[in-house]
Chain A
Amino acid sequence: MADDFLNIDLVFRNGLKDFEALPPDSVWDSVQTSLPGKKERNIRLMFARAASVAILTASAGTLLWYAGSELSDGINRQQAVTLNQEQMPGGSYVTPKAVATPVINTPVISDVATQQSPPGEPARNGLSQSPEQLRTADLSADFKKENRFLPLALIQYKAVEETGFGGKEKREKEFLLSDIELTDQQQGGEKWKLGAAFLPAYYSKFSFGNDDAAKDYIKEEDLAFSYSGGLSLAFNVSRRLSVQAGMVLNTMGQKIEGLTSYSGFIKYTEAKSGSDFAIRTASGTINSVNKDIYFTDSRNISRVLTMYTADIFDPVKANLQYVGSSVIQNLKYLELPVSLHYKLIDRTVDISMSGGISYNILVGNNSYVQSEGVKYMIGKTTGLSPVTFSSSLGLGMEYKLSPSMTLSVEPVFRYYITPLGGITGSSIHPYSFGVMSGFFYNF
């Protein structure tokens, strides 16, 4: 008798030892929404980490800034010489200052021991039915119908001596941690991310130095939106830290006010080559190569450098056609950014902080005046640095749309460590606020 009892104990013990069943997803949903007490710890941890990242980024930025200053100085000297000697028309200058620039129920089976169907009567419960009916119709129908159970371990018999049944001291052996390999999804083991991102940004600029002319120019240059887009590749160094690099085309520009332009000047120009008009901006000088456009200052700031000054040439009397009162200056940069991203909050919506630098190559440079939708190209801005360095600091959110696709939205602050260009004696450093949004494929 005792052996029979031990035997039945073993049947259940061994049979259910490795039993597993998948709980509905709703359980995890409820669990994760009932985990208070962690938030305070997270917030403290988040701020500590945020502070560390900010300090590191600021330190790196400062060092780079000093390095960038020396580089830009060298560029400034070189460009100033080029503009003064080769690109200005002959004759007298209107402004005396030097030009220049830079910068996730079972059925109740009655007790068979007490309920047995009389001979000749139809079976009333599962256990009086055939084994096949028993299995498929009653015992496990619900379980199988819902397909909730994982593959089960077969019951394997062993002698009592072999299994060592009977002691609490053996309990631990049955609770050994299984070495269940996780799927990639469970591990969150994607190492790479490839994505496309778009970043509209709003630009402004800092002006260093005591050049009053530069300050006056900046006042009359309307801030402009810039648009950049490109591809990026990220490598997850660890669960929280990743390194990202990419290639981005950034189009930025500004509207320069205080300039009136007229068309029809070509019949009056005497220069066969070169430029009759040079327009000074905070980031460089636009040397007009459009012989048909006449420029004149319309405000108190002297921007236009020309020998056709108002006292020598009157565009109204010359019957020139009015075009507009501003000049649009467009610059395109091919940017090669490298940044570090650190996850501050690692949940359904990840929140991370990023800091990085970018090597920017000037690939597009043109200016134009616009009238009734028609653009009159006037030329390039000289005095711009062909290469610039910028730093960025962002606080982003990432949402997993699927195991392999992520939506990223990241407000970004960028600051140009080296100037785009500028007026000699001053240093114009643009900065921007933008929101980068993109989709990333994780693999």
Chain B
Amino acid sequence: MNDIKEIIKGCLEGSRRDQELLYRRHAPKLYGVCLQYSDSDEEARDILQEGFIKIFQNLQNYKHEGSFEGWMRRIVVNTALEKYRARHNLYRVDDIETINEPEAEPGNDDYAGVQADDLLYLIRNLPPKYRMVFNLYAIEGYSHKEISEMLSISEGTSKSNLSRARVILQKKVSLYTGLRRSVING
């Protein structure tokens, strides 16, 4: 297995083979991230393309400290956020609304068996502003303060969007698992 440092070195020297090697090795996982942040496959492809171009252009700034995959993932997520901001800045009025945290229906903690592609489908069909906040908070682990800065929204809006996203997802997943269980139990 080629050492990642050697591959990065080759990329920095302009080796097209190393660039392709880096792409082939990490594109599937990063494309998965792109799909989480996009409305369509086309948009996901655009994010991946722009993301990789930025990765190659900024490779010299990677100091081999911390996870390289984490470094690339942050670039791809930031690219997705730029695209989101470019497409949704006209709807900023929604971002400043403060909504009381909605009540979720009784929870169902048995979600076993939900496939990753179904989870992706559910998350991609969330309204964009809910999807972005949910992804950044629940998947990436950012705080509401960081998310508010990233999306230029208030922390309250971030929390509100997260709650709405959670409620929607929880209902969908509960319904999904409930239907699945009823079929299994006859």
The smallest C-beta distance from B136 to any residue of chain A, in angstroms, reads 10
Q: Does B45 contact A (CB under 8 A)?
A: yes
Chain B residues within an 8 Å CB radius of A12? 119, 123, 134, 138-139, 169
Chain B residues within an 8 Å CB radius of A318? none
Residue in A closest to B139 when the chains form the complex, CB atoms: A13
Say whether, besides A19-B120, A106-B121, A168-B143, A140 and B183 are in contact (CB < 8 Å).
no
* A170 in contact with B141 (CB, 8 Å): yes
* B48 in contact with A167 (CB, 8 Å): no
* B16 in contact with A155 (CB, 8 Å): no
The smallest C-beta distance from B141 to any residue of chain A, in angstroms, reads 4
| Interface footprint category on B | 35 or more
Chain A residues within an 8 Å CB radius of B122? 109
* A131 in contact with B17 (CB, 8 Å): no
Q: How far is the CA of A109 from the CA of B176 in the complex (A)?
A: 13
The smallest C-beta distance from B38 to any residue of chain A, in angstroms, reads 10
Residue in A closest to B183 when the chains form the complex, CB atoms: A131
The smallest C-beta distance from A19 to any residue of chain B, in angstroms, reads 4
* B28 in contact with A22 (CB, 8 Å): yes
Q: Does A45 contact B (CB under 8 A)?
A: yes
Chain B residues within an 8 Å CB radius of A170? 141
Q: For A18, A108, A112, A131, which residue has the most chain B Cβ atoms within 10 angstroms? A: A131
Query: Which of A36-44, A61-69, A430-438 contacts its partner?
Result: A36-44
Chain B residues within an 8 Å CB radius of A24? 45
Q: How far is the CA of A15 from the CA of B114 in the complex (A)?
A: 8
Q: How far is the CA of A170 from the CA of B141 in the complex (A)?
A: 8
* A28 in contact with B1 (CB, 8 Å): no
The smallest C-beta distance from B186 to any residue of chain A, in angstroms, reads 12
B23: which of A1, A104, A176, A177 is its contact (CB, 8 Å)?
A: A104
Q: How far is the CA of A207 from the CA of B12 in the complex (A)?
A: 48
Query: Which of B68-76, B78-86, B89-97 contacts its partner?
Result: B68-76
Query: Which of A145-153, A306-314, A324-332 contacts its partner?
Result: A145-153
Q: How far is the CA of A188 from the CA of B22 in the complex (A)?
A: 12
The smallest C-beta distance from A113 to any residue of chain B, in angstroms, reads 5
B128-160 interface code vs A (CB 8 A; 1 in, 0 out): 000000100111111100100000000000000
* B45 in contact with A134 (CB, 8 Å): no
Q: How far is the CA of A179 from the CA of B67 in the complex (A)?
A: 12
Q: How far is the CA of A176 from the CA of B68 in the complex (A)?
A: 8
Q: Does A111 contact B (CB under 8 A)?
A: yes
Residue in A closest to B111 when the chains form the complex, CB atoms: A11
Q: Does A372 contact B (CB under 8 A)?
A: no
Chain A residues within an 8 Å CB radius of B73? 175
* A32 in contact with B172 (CB, 8 Å): no
Q: Does A212 contact B (CB under 8 A)?
A: no
List residues of B (10-28) whose CB comes within 8 Å of A's CBs. 10, 13-21, 23-25, 27-28
Q: Does A211 contact B (CB under 8 A)?
A: no
* A131 in contact with B179 (CB, 8 Å): yes
Residue in A closest to B182 when the chains form the complex, CB atoms: A131
Say whether, besides A105-B41, A127-B179, A171-B70, A37 and B112 are in contact (CB < 8 Å).
no
Q: Does A270 contact B (CB under 8 A)?
A: no
Pairs A-B, 9 closest by C-beta atoms: A175-B70, A4-B107, A347-B16, A20-B28, A9-B138, A42-B14, A152-B116, A38-B14, A19-B32
**A residues with CB within 8 A of B:** 1, 3-5, 7-9, 11-13, 15-16, 18-24, 26-28, 30-32, 34-35, 37-39, 41-42, 45, 104-106, 108-109, 111-113, 127, 130-132, 134-135, 139-140, 143-144, 149-150, 152-153, 155, 157, 166-168, 170-172, 174-182, 186-188, 239, 346-348
A-B contact pairs, 11 of them (CB 8 A): A5-B166, A5-B170, A19-B116, A21-B31, A27-B52, A31-B52, A131-B182, A139-B118, A140-B117, A167-B141, A186-B21
